[in-house]
Amino acid sequence: MSTPHKPTVALLIETSRAYGRDLCLGIAEYARGHGEWNFLIEERDLRGGIPEWLETWDGDGILCRLADPELADLLADAPCPVIDIYGQVQHPRIPFLDTDPDAVADMAARFFVNATFSNFAFCGFPGLWFSDGRSQSFQKAIRRLGSEVILYEPPHSWSSHDVARREALHPDGSKELEAWVKALPESTAILACNDVRAQQLLKVAMRIGRRVPEELAVMGVDDDELLCELTNPRLTSIHPDTRTLGYTAAHWLHLLMEGRTLPYQSLLVPPLHITERASTDTIASDDEIFVTALRYIRNHAHEGIDARNVIQQVGRSRSTLENRFRSYLGRSIKDEITRSRLARSLILLRETNMTLQQVANACGFATASHFCRMFKQAEGVTPGAFRAAHARDK
């Protein structure tokens, strides 16, 4: 009896960042469930160039992150199928997947609005494709909410479209960036194009005396834990669904290696969640009564509090406090308590194996049935369906 063929797959994916490593973990998970693949992988970054071995390599498929048009042209003519998990080059003969910039922007905008910010800014690396895409998406998201975005615009254009080179050009932030941060109004929420840019923003803010998060809130994208934990203060960041991206890319490659067709030629995957850390730990309002009430809810909603507890905490009439909540948030005290509980439940469903009853109890819901009803109403799916869709991230 012949031994089943095990595909040999080359991974041209940078291993220098958490994003690329998590893509590889998603790929590995798919391979384990489909007969085990043999992988060719080498230490590399996005500037890795064209590997010397590629010209004579005789494998079954290639999963890559294409930042080099010359490499893209070479791989488009390869005798084996190729999938790109980057989306910069978007070669017409290579299917690609990437993180959805609109979903990133919407998630950041909702977070900032729930924290009652009224000033919004975006800081990226103008001219880099992913930065410009996230900038445009964030501007659209904020405009839908009736506000505008303050953009960082350098005084000159950049000729380099190399991500790593641009990131390394001013590791502590430039004089132009200092001037921009210094001019931002208080209570501004800043979305950075990625964690490296956010780290630079935090360094600049500290150097010129802008307090984070008291004056400025800063959020990154990619949730690279090492970078986020090494900033001061620790960096809040949007966590992309890199495992699903890697898993799906491997599935697509498997289909092509078997001579089958793909469901579509490109796919944008929304991020999973925001990992909250100290760089956004603020409520952007001068109304001390409202701030006290909102912070009490966020700290104690999971303990089963209700509107009466919140009213007692601030020592004001119910009508006074309800009017403040509707004015600042557009919802009632009760609705904000429910929203805070459900936000906690999303984390528990993704990251633990707690039963639905345990999740309900941990979030402050009286019963599992009540929790499930409120969850379905807010998310459009049951808690069980949500957990199943995110099972690979536990």
On the question of pLDDT at 1 being above 50, the answer is: no
DSSP string of 232-273?
SSPPEEEE--HHHHHHHHHHHHHHHHTTPPPS-SEEEE---E
The DSSP element (H or E) to which 221 belongs, if any, is: strand 216-221
Going from the C-alpha of 141 to that of each of 130, 145, 176, the distances in angstroms are 16, 7, 26
pLDDT of residue 323: 93
Domains of the chain: 8-99+242-270 (3.40.50.2300), 101-240+274-280 (3.40.50.2300), 288-393 (1.10.10.60)
Q: What is the pLDDT of residue 132?
A: 94
| pLDDT tens per residue, range 91-104 | 999 999 999 999 99
Res. 392: pLDDT tops 60: no
Rounded Cα gap, residues 109 and 112, in angstroms: 5
Contacts of 153 (CB under 8 A, 6+ apart): 126
Q: Which pLDDT belongs to residue 42?
A: 79
Q: Give the predicted TM-score (pTM) of the model.
A: 0.80
* pLDDT above 80 (res 44): no
Q: Report pLDDT digits (tens) over 335-389.
A: 999 998 998 888 788 778 899 999 999 999 999 999 999 999 999 999 999 888 8
**What is the per-residue pLDDT across 289-347, written as a single tens digit (0 to 9) for each?**
998 998 899 889 999 999 999 999 999 999 999 999 998 888 999 999 999 899 888 87
Q: Strand 82-84 vs strand 119-123: parallel, antiparallel, or unpaired?
A: unpaired
Which pLDDT does position 393 carry in this prediction? 42
* Average per-residue pLDDT for the chain: 89
